[in-house]
Structure 1
Amino acid sequence: MTNHDEAAALRPLTLAWVSRHLEADERIVGTEALHGGSTAEMRRLTIGTRDGGTRDLVLRSFVDPLSVEHAEDWLTREAGALALLTGTGVPAPGLVAADPTAAQGEYPSLLMTHLAGRTVLGDEGLETRVPLLARQLVAIHALRPAERPREYVALTTADTVVVPQGADAAVWAAAIDVVRRPAPPYEGRFLHRDFQPGNVLFDVSPSRPAGARITGVVDWAATSWGPADLDVAHCSTNLALLHGPAWGLRFAEAYEEAGGALAAAASERLYWWVRDALACSEEVRHVAQPWRKAGRTELTTRAVEQRLDAYVIALTDALG
C-alpha cells in the first residue's frame, strides 16, 4: 500500500536530503515499503514530476544498529558499483545519491533509480529462470572494470560452521576438512557476491512463466574481485535451499552452458561450493525469514536446515 503522507514515512533530515536530489519542481508524492531485503529498509518513492507525471526512486537505508556499523563500507561499495555498471548493459539501478555516514540524513542511505519487475521465488517456471540467471551471471563476470573492487572476503572458517541437528556427521566432518585447506588458485572475475534469486528482478506473467525475462539485478553492496566459482556457488546454495539440492547442481551446469568458465578440477570446485554451503549454516534462520515473508511459508528454519544437509551430501557425492 502506498503512503501518500511522505513526512510520516521519511524522517525530516532524510526527506530533506532526498528532496535536494530531485529535479526542480519535483516532490515526493508517495512512499511504499519494499519487502524481501534482510539487512536494510527499502522504500519506493513516487516522485511527482513537473509535467504532472510520476517517476520512481528507491531509498535504501540501514536502520538496524547491527547493520549501521557496516553501512559506510556497504553503501560506499554499492555506490561505486552502480556508477561502474552504468552503460555496461547489466540491468542495475542508476545511482542518484549516497549518504554512507548519515552526514545528511538520520540513517546511512543510498538513493537509486527504480527497476521494473519483481523477485520470483516459487518453483513454477524454474526450468526457464535458471538458464536466465546463469546467462546474467556470465555477463556480470565478463565485466573488466578499469578499477577492480576489493578482493573477496570469506568469513566462514572450519571452526564457525554450525552443523544442523540430525545432519550426516561424517559428511559434514569431511566438508569441514575441505575448507581447512588453502584456497585454490583462481583467475579473478568481477563478482556480485550475493547473486541469488532474491536479488534478481523478473518480468514474468503467471499465465506464461516460460516467457520470463530478467529486468534487473540489485544489492551490489558486496561487489568483489575473486573466482567465478564463488558467485556460482552462492547462487547454487540459494537454489538448493529454495527448490531442492538438484537445482543447486543444475545451476553450475547452466552457467557453463551459457559460456561461463569454472575451476577445472573437481576438488577446486568442491572447495568453493562447500565453502558457500557451510557459510549458510551459520545464518539459516536469517536466510529463511525473508523467504517466508515472500510467501514460501513452508521454508521453516528446520526445513531449510534439512535441505542444506541434503545439498552438502549431494555436493560431496558429485565432487568429492
Structure 2
Amino acid sequence: MTHHDEAAAVRPLTLAWVSRHLEPGERIVATAALHGGSTAEMRRLTIGTRDGGTRDLVLRTVTDLEHAEDRLHREAVALTLLTGTGVPAPGLVAVDPTAAHGEYPSLLMTHLTGRTVLDDEGLEARVPALARQLVAIHARRPAERPRAYAALTTAGTVVVPKGADAVAWAAAIDVIRGPAPPYEGRFLHRDFHPGNVLFDVPSPRATGARITGVVDWAAASWGPADLDVAHCSTNLALLHGPAWGLRFAEAYEEAGGVPAAAASERLYWRVRDALAFSEEVQWVAQPWREAGRTELTTRAVEERLDAYVTALMDTLG
C-alpha cells in the first residue's frame, strides 16, 4: 500500500477496522490526507476492487476525545437519515464513536466527487446554488429528529475587534441579551458554508456551479432555519465581503426558503452567529489561508466582521 504523505498513514488498529467493512476481495491500496478539516483528520482511502478497479472511501478520525463520541454519533445519524433523500451527503459505511476497534474514534463514509471553492471568481453563480441546496436540506422531515441546536455565544463572551464600530457592536450585543425568538423547527446542517460544500467546477474561474456534495454533518441539529442562513451568511461575508453575507439571505428567500417573518427575529439569529465568530477569528481564518486565501489575515477578517455586523444593524436593526 502506498501513502501520498506521512499524514495519510492510517494507524494499524483503525486500518484493520476499515478492512473488516470492505467487500470480500477488496483491500486498501492507497491513502491520501484531505485538507480543510478543522476538527478531525480526514483521509481518502483508495480501495482495490475484485475486478481490478478502484473506488474511494473517506475516513474521519477524531483525535480530540472530549466531543468525539457525540460528533461522530450525530454525523452517523444524519447520514443515515439523509440516505435516499436527494441531499448529496456521503453514505455511512461504518462508525466507531468510542474507539472500541481503533486507536481513535472514527467514521467511514463514501467519497463524493467535486471540490470546495473559496475564490471570488464565479461567486455570482455559487451563492444561488448554495441557497437552493440549503432550502432542500431544510425541507427534510426526518422520522427521527436530531438533537436541538446549541448556540453558546452570550453577550459576555463576545470579543469586540480592535477599532470596531463601538455603537454598532454595543447595539448588536444588546440584541442577543434577550431570549431567542420563537421558531418553527427545521432539519439543520448547522455548519453549512462554502468550506463544507463540494462543486463540480473545472477551474476557479468557471461559471458553472453544480453542487456535488455537502459534507461534515457532525453538528446536524433541529432548530430555526435562520440559524443555518446566518452561519452561511457570516462565512460569505468574511470570505468575500459583507455584501455577500446580505446577498445570501436574499438568495435563500428567492430559492423558496422561509426565514422568520419579523426583521427583529431575523436580526437576532444573524447577529448571534456573527458575534460568535468574534471569539474565534484566528481559528476561522487559518484554514482559509491554508487553502490559498493568503490575504485573509486575522486582522483582515476582523475588519470584515466589523463591517458585516455594522451592515446588519443598519439593514435590520
Question: Which TM-score bucket, shorter chain as reference?
Answer: over 0.9
Gaps of 5+ in 2: none
Partner of 1:46: 46
Does structure 2 conserve the Cα–Cα contact (< 8 Å) formed by 1:82 and 1:93? Answer: yes
Matches of residues 4-153 of structure 1 in structure 2 within 5 Å? 9-63=9-63, 67-153=64-150
- Structure 2 length as normaliser, TM-score? 0.97
> Is the aligned partner of 1:263 residue 2:290?
no
Does structure 2 conserve the Cα–Cα contact (< 8 Å) formed by 1:46 and 1:57? Answer: yes
Equivalent position to 1:291, from 288, 291, 299: 288
Matches of residues 181-260 of structure 1 in structure 2 within 5 Å? 181-206=178-203, 209-260=206-257
Find the aligned partners of 1:58 and 1:214 in 2 and give their Cα distance.
18
Matching residue's letter, 1:175: A
Gaps of 5+ in 1: none
Question: How many percent identity over aligned positions?
Answer: 85
Matching residue's letter, 2:32: E
For residues 81-109 of structure 1, give each alpha carbon's deviation from its aligned partner in whole angstroms, at most 9, with x where no partner exists: 00110000000000000001111000110
For residues 180-217 of structure 1, give each alpha carbon's deviation from its aligned partner in whole angstroms, at most 9, with x where no partner exists: 01100111100000000000000012286222200000
Find the aligned partners of 2:289 and 2:314 in 1 and give their Cα distance.
30
- Structure 1 length as normaliser, TM-score? 0.97
Does structure 2 conserve the Cα–Cα contact (< 8 Å) formed by 1:128 and 1:209? Answer: no
Find the aligned partners of 1:68 and 1:115 in 2 and give their Cα distance.
26
Equivalent position to 1:302, from 299, 307, 315: 299
For residues 156-178 of structure 1, give each alpha carbon's deviation from its aligned partner in whole angstroms, at most 9, with x where no partner exists: 01000011111111111110000
Q: Indicate the SS of the match to 2:209.
A: strand
Shift in alpha-carbon separation, 1:127–1:5, aligned structure 2, 3 A: closer
Q: What is the root-mean-square deviation in Å for CA atoms of aligned residues?
A: 1.4
Matching residue's letter, 2:55: R
Q: Indicate the SS of the match to 1:211.
A: coil
Partner of 1:166: 163
Shift in alpha-carbon separation, 1:310–1:7, aligned structure 2, 3 A: closer
Q: What's the CA shift for 1:10?
A: 1.0
Q: What's the CA shift for 1:6?
A: 9.5
For residues 111-170 of structure 1, give each alpha carbon's deviation from its aligned partner in whole angstroms, at most 9, with x where no partner exists: 000000000000000000000000000000000001111111100010000111111111
Find the aligned partners of 1:289 and 1:211 in 2 and give their Cα distance.
27
Q: Indicate the SS of the match to 2:173.
A: helix
Shift in alpha-carbon separation, 1:306–1:52, aligned structure 2, 3 A: same
Q: Indicate the SS of the match to 1:210.
A: coil
Matching residue's letter, 2:28: I
> Is the aligned partner of 1:179 residue 2:176?
yes
Does structure 1 conserve the Cα–Cα contact (< 8 Å) formed by 2:8 and 2:32? Answer: no
Find the aligned partners of 1:48 and 1:294 in 2 and give their Cα distance.
30
